[in-house]
Structure 1
Amino acid sequence: TRISEESHLKPKPMIEIGGKPILWHIMKTYSAHGINEFVICLGYRGYMIKEYFANYFLHTSDVTFDMSDNTIEVHQNAAEPWKVTLVDTGDGSMTGGRLKRVAKYLGDEDFCFTYGDGLSDVNISELVRFHKEQGSLATVTAVQPPGRFGLLDVQGDKIVEFNEKPLGDGGWINGGYFVLSPKVIERIEEDATSWESEPLKGLAADGELTVFKHKGFWQPMDTLRDKNQLEELWDVGKAP
């Protein structure tokens, strides 16, 4: 059963693991590798993500409200070295359309791109270094989950065919952690463009999609079972 009830009430990246939104866990992964500037694509109930960051200290610190003079004292003020740009990319936009909508905030350097519904201990620093070495327009992190996903046709360090989610057999799949050249945005036509369809398939066909193979932890959060597994890892102190 997909976690539809909770994601109906809030954006999926705001579903909590260990009392923190999965978005927070993803950002912590990047921050651990020195990446602290984020552009977040907002869709369904995106205002909830804006409110989370606007009131971040309320979520992470003890506070005292003095009602007599309307002052707030923040205790153990937990700050992050993050600069976060939140962009409304429309409720109905597909993944490619969302990326195209935030292009003006990305600058002219290569950037990291990921989804908001999965966690991994992928070495972001190594991923970026590998991407630069390969010199391709795009690098995707490939992972090997138990086998309910689709396949990437991998030859050496190149992906020659991109097939998203047919019946999987435990081969390599799209793990959702990308490093991209801004030039890839030219391959996205409109809001209805899925990043996983023509853009990625075209990059693969042109020999411009490199694969970074990750054999460590990777866990999506598509089902209640997935969420419970992540919660268990957090509870026993084994979160990556």
Structure 2
Amino acid sequence: MKVVLFCGGQGQRLLDADTGRAFTPKRASDAPKPLHMVGGKPILWHLMKWYATYGHTDFILCVGFRGEFVRNWVGDLCAEHLDEPTALPGVPRRHLLDGEAAGWSITIVDSGISTPVGQRLRAVRNLVGAEDLFLANYADGLSDVSLPQLIDEAHRSEAVATLLAVRPPETIHTVAFRPDSTAINEIAPMAEQELWINAGFFVLRPTVFDLIHPGEDLVDAPFSRLARAGRLGGYRYRGFWRAMDTAKDRLILDELWSSGVRPWAIWEDPARGQFVPWRPQV
């Protein structure tokens, strides 16, 4: 199953992260968001390794800001590779033949510097349009959710788009006021409320392209149309998930890796890492 990863973000809220552990010797702000480091490797590597452990090794990287950094990183993944043409002229599909990423296939598509995610997805329509289902990800978060279960939910529901829904990990509190008053009726941790957020892990059907209009992002308008039509699915998950939106998030993930508490690193646990690639259930 093809995996589309959105790798064009600038990660502006990460600019105060320490620069000594950035992807290159240059400033951290020079690297696109998916190349900021967790445990000495880009978060993009962690995510691709997670998908690959489940048997999904055909990656499409939608690059934008500092896309050459992503290209250089992919070039360093292996010494031997084979390229083949794709449906996009001048855009090859690279098969990696050696190293820890042996068996992966990577297609890199320049989708624009400040392009909304919906338009980045539109840019690769010809590469995934023939799939029954394909996967997509914001490429800035990690989770230990069972990917086969997420895919099975999307397959059973016949939703055009299915997203991973998680509880917000923030420690901030929500406040409820009494009607027509400045008196507070309730204050409680947001994580304890019946509130779910989009985690950025998607299972999509090609018909989603018919819902994305020129200039639109992926979620706001297209997903609202799907929701109104009853064709937007959600997989509720209460396990581990963390996005790398801020320098604090990055430090939390880095500290988890250093401590050995790595819920997303399923490839390190033989009991969890031997997965059969997903097949539709009949």
TM-score (norm 1): 0.80
1:81 counterpart = 2:92? no
Question: How many Å apart are 1:7 and its aligned residue?
Answer: 5.4
Question: How many Å apart are 1:146 and its aligned residue?
Answer: 2.9
Q: SS at the partner of 1:34? A: coil
Distance 1:29 1:78 in 2: 13
Q: SS at the partner of 1:56? A: coil
Q: How does 1:31-42 map to 2 (within 5 A)?
A: 31-42=52-63
Q: Is the 8 A contact 2:169 2:242 kept in 1?
A: no
Q: SS at the partner of 1:197? A: helix
Distance 1:129 1:92 in 2: 33
Distance 1:197 1:148 in 2: 26
Q: Can you list the C-alpha shifts for 1:170-208, whole angstroms capped at 9, x where unaligned?
A: 411101111000000111112x31112111111111100
Question: How many Å apart are 1:148 and its aligned residue?
Answer: 7.7
Q: Which residue of 1 aligns with 2:128?
A: 106
Distance 1:7 1:127 in 2: 33
Distance 1:77 1:34 in 2: 17
Cα distance change, pair 45–140 in 1 and its aligned pair in 2 (3 A) = same
Q: Is the 8 A contact 2:31 2:66 kept in 1?
A: yes
Residue 14 of structure 2 aligns to which amino acid in structure 1? I
What CA RMSD, in Å, does the superposition of the two structures yield over aligned residues? 2.0
Q: Which runs of 5+ in 2 are unaligned?
A: 1-11, 17-26, 80-97, 173-188, 264-282
Q: Of 48, 52, 55, which residue of structure 1 is paired with 2:69?
A: 48
Q: Which residue of 2 aligns with 1:63?
A: none
Distance 2:13 2:160 in 1: 34
Q: SS at the partner of 2:260? A: coil
Q: Is the 8 A contact 1:145 1:218 kept in 2?
A: no
Q: Of 187, 190, 195, which residue of structure 1 is paired with 2:218?
A: 195
Q: SS at the partner of 1:175? A: strand
Q: Of 6, 17, 37, which residue of structure 2 is paired with 1:16?
A: 37
Distance 1:179 1:7 in 2: 31
Distance 1:111 1:199 in 2: 17
TM-score (norm 2): 0.68
Distance 2:129 2:60 in 1: 11
Distance 1:53 1:43 in 2: 15
Q: SS at the partner of 1:57? A: coil
Q: SS at the partner of 1:116? A: coil
Cα distance change, pair 196–79 in 1 and its aligned pair in 2 (3 A) = closer
Cα distance change, pair 148–235 in 1 and its aligned pair in 2 (3 A) = closer
Q: Is the 8 A contact 2:165 2:198 kept in 1?
A: yes
Q: Is the 8 A contact 1:41 1:98 kept in 2?
A: yes
Q: Which residue of 1 aligns with 2:13?
A: 2
Q: Of 196, 201, 204, which residue of structure 2 is paired with 1:172?
A: 196
What is the aligned length? 204
Question: How many Å apart are 1:117 and its aligned residue?
Answer: 1.1
Q: Of 105, 123, 126, which residue of structure 1 is paired with 2:149?
A: 126
Q: Which residue of 1 aligns with 2:3?
A: none
The runs of at least 4 aligned residues of structure 1 exceeding 6 Å deviation read: none
Q: Which residue of 2 aligns with 1:66?
A: none
Q: Can you list the C-alpha shifts for 1:73-96, whole angstroms capped at 9, x where unaligned?
A: xxx943432101110000021010
Q: Which runs of 5+ in 1 are unaligned?
A: 59-75, 150-167
Q: Which residue of 2 aligns with 1:163?
A: none
Cα distance change, pair 217–129 in 1 and its aligned pair in 2 (3 A) = same
Q: Which residue of 2 aligns with 1:184?
A: 208
Q: Which residue of 1 aligns with 2:20?
A: none
Q: SS at the partner of 2:78? A: helix
Distance 1:14 1:33 in 2: 22
